[in-house]
Chain A
Amino acid sequence: MKRKIKSILSVGAALCFIISCTACQTVDSGANISEDSVENININESAIDDSVIDEEIVPDEAPLNITKDQLYYRCMNSMEYLSHVSGDVKVRYGGKDRNVYQGTVNLDFVNGKYFTDASTFDIDNLENCIYNVVTYNNSNICHSIIDNIIDGSKRHETMKEGLCPTLEITTFANACPINPDDKSSIEAARAKGKTVITSIDQLSEEQINATYGGDPTGDHVLGAFYIPQEMSMGYLKNFDMWDITDYKDFQGRSCAVVQGKAEPEYGSRFNVETFEILVDQATGVWMQFEGYDADGNVMQYVYSENVCFDDDTVDVPTYKDEYAEGYEELDMNAVDQANIDETIRKMNAEAEKE
């Protein structure tokens, strides 16, 4: 009965995504302002004296495409830019990880509600799921409903209070490179007496890695899509190894096309020599990633489809007690305290020996 409920939920969620995402629009991308958007911005042309122009009047136009500095910072700090995102994701991390991870995410970072349904497949047998985790996190309690197909175990893990991951704002307030050609933003910042940052070099490594704390969703297995911090650091930290070669629309989002070569020390772990990433300019989300070996074979990937942002998403599914019927209950707060107690016993035993 539990599997039937999950199947209905999955199908229902998929249908909702398909229905809503057929109307997905470019919202809040910041980079696709059409000419229609300037209709409410008035320029009093009669006040312009062509013979005496003290200041250059810059008419509103489409925001500049992001720079490499901006792109890297957003990939490292996507939490700072995401509001609500959903979609179907498939990831192969490669290297010695023989798994392929596939599933659905519906993540509301504004209201702190997250849903993921992630299945694990062995690379040698992609027909059969070997592990499935459905996570419901409302930032107060995180439920993980786990089916381990290999050993047949079925667990319902809960994490509450401090163990339940939440969105944490770091000690570093918003500090992000802006496009040096974005005169209006630079002038506005200076007018407020703020320091303008146009280069990653002006930020410390800690500031770049701020990422508003850790992944608040409770999942992270599909994180290469919405919080691509690890792979961004691995592939993009050395700016000499990659470039933004194009900007194009992908699934209704304005994306930067990143192409580059992997640092041998990092790429060799996954047999990746070159890569291409489609990065959502507004949020740093990796809409698509492919890492290629020397022959052009895809060795590592992140694929997404039916992706929706913000107003085009549906409500995040919430946990119901019936989802965990038939599953072994595991209070991870109690497990954690038991582990701490075991460590304290060992420490006391060592102290007594001395």
Chain B
Amino acid sequence: MFNKKNLKKFIASCISIATIAIPMSITANASTYSRLIDNDPTSSSGNSSSSNGFSYINGGSCYNGDARIILSGNSSNFYHWIHPKISLGGVKTVTVNLQVYLNHANFTDPRASYSVYKNGASLTVGYINQNTAAGGWNYKYASSNDFTGLWLVSVSPSGQPNCQTGADAVNVTYTY
């Protein structure tokens, strides 16, 4: 049964969602840093990578034709995408816009976990079902108020059996 309280709440929610507001965290003094990092980046790109156990694969549908992959059964495994360090000169609030490129049929992990390193601890940005993710770029967002530096993006497997976790390209944008 729909009552007056719920009706008012519904109308209020319709009004609130019918608007666009200026993004609240971007100010005149905000800085942004964007970096696209493919798996196995060349040294000339200024990027690098690190992992434990991810194997190299070729695939025409992958970003630049290749990627890395691992059985999803061990959630302690990792793949790190590394870019040149950005020192924030103190503790700052950072918003992370992470785009993840996924386009291989063998990427089947239903809960691949993505995080960024705040330079002291990591921040979970989000989970992606790599099996059902649309081919191409997938978006995740997060923010935290205790970043001191920016340099690393990570993916870890879910731990699920019968699945494989892929690592291809990421495009990360920090706003601080």
List chain A positions with a Cβ less than 8 A from chain B.
25-30, 32-34, 36-37, 40, 63, 80, 93-99, 101, 120, 122, 130-131, 133, 146, 148, 150, 157, 159, 161-165, 168, 170-176, 178, 182, 184-186, 188-189, 192, 194-197, 205-206, 209-215, 219-221, 223-224, 230-231, 233-234, 237, 265-266, 269, 330, 332-333, 335-337, 339-340, 342-343, 346-347, 350
Contact = CB atoms under 8 A, between A and B. Distances in A.
Given A265-B135, A342-B50, A99 B162 contact: yes
A174 B115 contact: no
Interface string B131-151: 111110011111110100000
Given A32-B2, A221-B110, A120 B160 contact: yes
Contact of B121 (A94, A122, A148, A333): A333
Of listed B13, B22, B129, B131, residue having the most chain A CB within 10 A: B129
B3 A37 contact: yes
Contacts of B26: 171
B139 A209 contact: yes
Contacts of A146: 159
B14 A131 contact: no
Nearest to A209: B139
Nearest to A206: B139
A182 B14 contact: yes
Contacts of A206: 97, 139
B85 to A, nearest CB: 10
Nearest to B4: A40
Nearest to A38: B7
A93 B110 contact: yes
B134 A220 contact: no
B24 A171 contact: yes
Contact of A215 (B121, B126, B154, B160): B126
Nearest to B158: A221
Given A162-B124, A162-B146, 8 more contacts: A32-B2, A130-B162, A173-B24, A206-B139, A211-B141, A220-B158, A223-B110, A230-B128
Contacts of A173: 19-24
Contact of A234 (B22, B122, B134): B134
B160 A339 contact: no
Of listed B14, B156, B158, B175, residue having the most chain A CB within 10 A: B14
A157 B75 contact: yes
A164 B19 contact: no
10 contacts: A25-B1, A40-B4, A101-B110, A120-B160, A162-B122, A192-B19, A220-B111, A220-B127, A237-B134, A340-B152
Contacts of A266: 134-135
Nearest to B126: A214
Contacts of A29: 2
Contacts of B125: 213-214
A33 B2 contact: yes
A93 B25 contact: no
Contacts of A28: 6, 9-10
A173 B9 CA distance: 18
B14 A185 contact: yes
Contact of A332 (B75, B128, B134, B161): B75
Interface residues of B, number: 75
Given A192-B19, A230-B133, A230-B138, A335 B76 contact: yes
Given A96-B131, A234-B134, A347-B82, A37 B16 contact: no
Contact of B118 (A25, A131, A162, A210): A162
B14 A99 contact: no
B115 A163 contact: yes
A337 B135 CA distance: 31
B82 A195 contact: no
Given A36-B1, A130-B161, A170 B141 contact: yes
A98 B126 contact: no
A266 B156 CA distance: 24
B160 A171 contact: no
A350 to B, nearest CB: 8
B108 interface: yes
Interface string B92-109: 000101000000011010
Nearest to B26: A171
B131 to A, nearest CB: 5
Contacts of A165: 124, 126-127
A99 B163 contact: yes
A101 B158 CA distance: 13
B162 A97 contact: yes
A224 B134 CA distance: 13
A253 to B, nearest CB: 13
A335 B131 CA distance: 25
Nearest to A234: B134
B15 A189 contact: yes
Contact of B21 (A175, A224, A269): A175
Contacts of A269: 105
